[in-house]
Structure 1
């Protein structure tokens, strides 16, 4: 009897631990190394794992596009971490479209905003909301919070000194893009670029993070995050998790579903 009682306690303990380990939602991070973005993952992966532990969600990390061959429905959000849409081929693109139309969330980070060749997958470009034009050399600049009510802005100062690649974009492809952060072009030189290239900046309105409702799902986009060292910065990680939390749950603001 004593042995039976002990085994029962062990079983209940295991079940309790399993229940406790179950996260509040599931996230897929796809981090496919590419020519200009490969060393970031050494820092980014453990930081996302730590983020999952601190905030209690389940994390799946993938170095390739294989998850898009399977069932995406268990994931509340998919993070394209420096992974552009051109990494997805054939039916994988249809899987992502179906996932979003079913209410799934997508968070696109930095290099994921650049689709090549342009126009090859218009649905994905509209998911991002804007198409990439060019960027000058990495420089320090001032980032302004444009929407302090959005979770991706909760952990950053109203004026934030930040060093990054300042992507420039064409006009929005869809209505309803809501800017979260912008960069002050007077705080850096938008024309500082490599010989043979020309950058002129975007002017007074230069968004670097935004969100919108698209085709049934939620989308958060941030152009920040070029160098590996940035993934050690608490403010940047707070920016990422705020965006991820909203992308996965729609919570934190009254946002269109």
Structure 2
């Protein structure tokens, strides 16, 4: 039986590539985003994950057409960079609304149907910024750490209903993300904000192709059984291994040397 997949934030980047890979593997794929981008084999649903009613309407549309949702991929997100003390609260809320509460809206809209079916798979997109919080990208790092905690707790809550949950942490990916850059206070920090953001953007420009990441995510989602956590990319796996064998202080120092210049 073809899997019915609903993916959030599928109009560009990792989401677009992941939706395409699901379609290539014979799934019936729906993506919800504010803007449509033609993607063969993928049905677009216009919606905003930060709007609970919008997400619920999209979920009802898919269930009405297909009778079920087998896989939910919570991918929608954005990036915010800037100094902690100079970032306005309204911008922090914007980030959390999309990266965290958007995921919550999607999960809560889909879960009743998965519980009723006694089966389902939920994949939440986190980041390597969760285990390695990035200076001048603290709020993004915190939002992705929240995804990890949420997915881990959710997995234990819903396993009795036949629903499995995992989170995925891609490394640097060449996606040209929508980055909300705030340079307020850069004079106070001696230009460190701008230099740090330049390092982040350079790493992303030299990162993995989104098609590779999308292929891995779709393969994970289609497994018969999943582990709670996955990293994507050789460097990511190496970084996580080293984090287990070195002290927290040493890992903290290395991240600082990479991004605080």
Larger radius of gyration: 1
TM-score (norm 1): 0.34
Greater per-residue helix proportion: 2
